Structure 1
Amino acid sequence: MQKLENRARICLLLAAVLFLGIVVFTWRLVTHGAEWATFYGNTQIYTNGMINRGTVYDRNGVMLMQCTTNGVVYPESSTLRMATVHAVGDPKGNMSTGAINMWKGGLIGYDFLNGTYDTTKDGKKITLNIDSSANVAAYNALGSHNGVVGVFNYKTGEIMCMVNKPSFDPLGSLPADPNSSIYFNSFLQGKMTPGSTFKLVTSAAAIDYDPEISSFSFTCDGVNYYRGEKIACTHAHGTSDFERALAVSCNGAFGAISREVGAENLKKETEDCGLTSSINIDGIKTTPGTFEFPTDNDVKLSWAGIGQAKDQVNPASMMVFVGSIANGGKAVQPSMIKSSNIIKKLSGGKSLGNYLSEDTASQLKSMMKNDVKVTYGESNFPGLDIYAKSGTAEVGTADNNGWFVGFIDDPDHPYAFVVWVEGGGTGYQVGGPIIRTVLNTLIQNN
């Protein structure tokens, strides 16, 4: 009798292990099935190492890439190919952020019940949020400069434009090394010295943590000294209050504001604004920014609050941050894949939370409009209700890198933007004309 009971226990234990194994396998099949099905050894969906089915379109139905058994087909225009390759990807899938690599399961038409079975053998279509005409406009506007242009809808999260230079023609000669820098997507994977664009974060910290900021005043002589250390400006700005200090981008003034706010508050504000976090964009993880706000060195703290020192920011994260200013402090998760969800279009994209309070966002918005009026010139952006902040990042080379970030207040076209131009010099002078061209193209097409 005892032997029968022991055998029964063993059988029950084996049944339990079997059941648990089935549960684990089913869970892994559901969560990793697409990854298993798109393994490169699957000759049904790969020809000569390349996906042989699926098509990628832009938001307006322009074909950007078609995978066939005879190879990958791209548009006839080489400029269009180079302007969209960082979104679409290269034939070999070396670009980790490209659609051909990131969403291959969607291209081949994988689903849980049928796997990769497809009666047409043409695969499925993926529609990206980008407007290819805006990408071409951005690519051309960058001219001979390398750089980044990104635009997204700060209500729905749709990434309308994403351009990186240097770029390459996917139909041209490709580097054999899959780790070549030519495949690097600076908009999503890069991080750069933000220069004076970071003064928006310092301003937010001042609004939140310095009760005396409304009475702030600073007199800039062009070369300002603190404890014997020089904090230089482009020229003498004279006496400025808080709002004017941002408009003229006075380093001396913002060094003083940074010291008043303090290292811990600057650190917290930077984290609250999402600049030290990675953002998940349809499975693509952006590179988090890195910052140091020393508590024992006020001079280094001053430069950190100005946007220099060891500050490093990701362009996509900066775009989302300025979008939150436009959106009453609410940050929206960016997306590359176009959604047919009507509820999302009506209620907005997925929330990343409140980066700022509504009052802080409102004050920053007003200050950014003042930037345009005082420094950048509203006449340079006809027809655009634009709010912006420029930056000139000193990186130890002969030519500084230029930034121009901001948004437009337009209910039909709620777009936030980031422009970074390597060696471009003064941010608004190089970035302003670029984003004006891109925004006008987006408004005309959408």
Structure 2
Amino acid sequence: MNRELKRISALVLVMFTALFVASSVIQVFQSQNLEADARNQRARADQYSIQRGQILVSDGTAIVTSPRSDDSFQFDRDYKEGRLYAAVTGYYNPIGSPTGIEGALNSQLAGTASDRLLDRFQNILTGAKPRGASVQLTIDAAVQKAAYDALGDQRGAVVALDPRTGAVLAMVSKPSFDPNAIADHADGVKAYERLKDQAGKPLINRAIDSLNPPGSTFKIVSASTALETGRYKPDSMFPSPRSYTLPGTSTVIQNAVGEACGTGPKASIFTALKLSCNIPFAQLGIALGDDALRTQAEKFGFGQQLSIPLKVTPSVYPPAPLDPAQTAQTAFGQYDDRATPLQIAMVSAAIANRGRLMKPNLVQKVLSPSLAPSSQFSPEQLGTPVSEKTAEQVTAMMKASVDSGAATNARIEGVEVAGKTGTAQNGTNDPYTLWFTGFAPVSDPQVAVAVVVENGGGLGQSGFGNLVAAPIGRQVMEAVLKR
């Protein structure tokens, strides 16, 4: 009998020990993860009992606030000009995971971050009601509005960077949506389901999550690859026939207008980029090889994981091995090249910044509940994709493209602009994807921009980058220069 009692006692002790350990692990080590889990509705209700921090643009104007509510959640989430900033702020609601800055900095905005422990302790001592920290963005309200208006009803995205710091001055994705609908306590779930299935997929942030063939904007990378080898110069020549059959295939490629590049039987790298000629770049790509192109693309950020602090879908240069025909197509941004607008803006920004690539960043600072500075974000250099000499040479090519080449609709009176357009094919009968990327002023770059317009800009295969995307880029650059 005593033996049985001892066994039962030992079993009970083990069970109590296991329960104690499990509860301790949950309360001490997993508490933050549980609070952040979107399925934890009790935690979400608790977070709505705390006044969530504001989201502000660069001049300190609040674009997201948390006014008091008249229901059990105590506070609403109010998005000022919600559609204008949706790609940046994302949304926050009682059910589901927050997105955008709301998701990336959820613990700071909710006041549950580990670095807000002192604030919570002070609240207990003083009896003050807890409040979340606020986040001040790098977004410039005037530039954001210019980008939003310039994109109009097109399906696509715009990104504007300060090439000197990596600060994101504007980030727009269209079609957009109103975060207030999803944030609604009663009907937010229905609004989300409706938007999730809506044509045009407005919940996708096309600036950082949507991959498209970059077309001729990738020629900046190819030209940089050539110049960085030391074997080529801007005046290095390549044959320039009216058509070119890719090696080992029956596939025939042409330049944009089906003509030779320039006036002679050969064209320089300078002329080929200025006029956006595919055939010389195809031959250049074969001469360089896919390994060299891939390495250079990765230096610009292709294939790299990036947080701004929104997570960015990595852009793609296709993996090895590639045959000569495939390599030729990648050199002018086709085959399996895929890029986000942010990535293409990063390429231009590195060229503008004399070869130095700064990490893109959306957050200027985190502010305490009293709006006193709590933490400041400093510019961070990701790398040096090209030398200063190469950057200067590519800049000259891009400037010539705007002055008298394939990107003339990006010209700004009285300002030297460098730019590159792209008109990317998606299939035999599919509409083109239209691009522009560039920076200004050339002598002292203050903005680098990338524009993508999907679905041919409504023009099918009749649209091209200079017609549709370049004017959008021009308006965004003008907005920065007018500040």
TM range (shorter): 0.7 to 0.9
Partner of 2:193: 176
Cross-structure match for 1:132: 141
- 5 Å-filtered alignment, 1:33-432, equals 35=33, 37-38=35-36, 40-42=41-43, 43-46=45-48, 52-70=51-69, 71-75=76-80, 80-92=81-93, 97-110=99-112, 111-115=116-120, 118=123, 119-172=128-181, 174-176=191-193, 181-209=201-229, 211-214=231-234, 216-227=236-247, 228-235=250-257, 236=259, 237-238=261-262, 239=264, 240-282=267-309, 284-292=310-318, 297-339=323-365, 349-375=379-405, 376-377=407-408, 380-396=411-427, 397-409=429-441, 414-422=446-454, 423-424=456-457, 425-432=463-470
Counterpart position of 2:11: none
2-structure distance, mates of 1:189, 1:214: 34
How big is the shift at 1:210?
Answer: 5.8
TM-score (normalizing by structure 2) = 0.76
Structure 1 residues 143 and 267, CA, compared in 2 at 3 Å: closer, same or farther?
same
Distance in 2 separating the partners of 1:136 and 1:33: 40
Q: What's the counterpart of residue 11 of structure 1? A: none
What's the offset of the Cα at 1:162? 0.3
Within 1, Cα distance between the matches of 2:333 and 2:415?
27
What's the CA shift string for 1:378-405, capped at 9, x where partnerless?
A: 8831243321111111112542111111
1:212 Cα shift?
4.2
Q: Which amino acid aligns with 1:353?
A: G
Read off the aligned partner of 1:314 and give its amino acid letter: T
Q: Which runs of 5 or more residues in structure 1 are unaligned?
A: 1-20
Aligned to 1:68, the other structure's residue is in SS state coil
In structure 1, C-alpha distance between the alignment counterparts of 2:453 and 2:347, rounded to whole Å = 19
Q: Alignment RMSD, CA only?
A: 3.1
1:427 maps to amino acid? G
How far apart, CA to CA, are the structure 2 residues paired with 1:243 and 1:306? 14
Q: 1:32-64: CA deviations, max 9, x gaps?
A: 8765555552333226xxx74221111123321
* Partner amino acid, structure 1, of 2:424: A
Aligned length, in residue pairs: 410
Alignment check: 8 A CA contact 1:57 1:125 kept: yes
Give the drift of 1:157: 1.7
Distance across 2 between alignment mates of 1:95 and 1:371: 44
Shift of 1:229: 3.3
Amino acid of the residue matched to residue 74 of structure 1?
Y
Structure 2 residue ranges without an equivalent (≥5) = 1-20, 70-75, 182-189, 367-372, 458-462
**1:148/1:162 contact within 8 Å kept:** yes
The answer as to whether partners of 2:163 and 2:350 remain within 8 angstroms in 1 is yes
Structure 1 residues 46-88: Cα deviation after superposition (integer angstroms, max 9, x where no partner): 26xxx7422111112332111234112222xxxx321201111
Q: Is the 8 A contact 2:214 2:422 kept in 1?
A: yes
Change (3 A) 1:305 1:133: same
1:338-370 CA-to-partner distances (Å, cap 9, x unmatched) read 1389x989xx71110111122222211121111
Change (3 A) 1:242 1:94: farther
Report how far residue 188 of structure 1 moved: 1.6
Distance 1:218 1:434, change over 3 A: same
How high is the sequence identity, in percent, across the aligned residues?
Answer: 25
Aligned residues of 1:193 and 1:313 also touching (Cα < 8 A): yes
Whether the 8 Å contact between 1:107 and 1:123 is mirrored in structure 2 is: yes
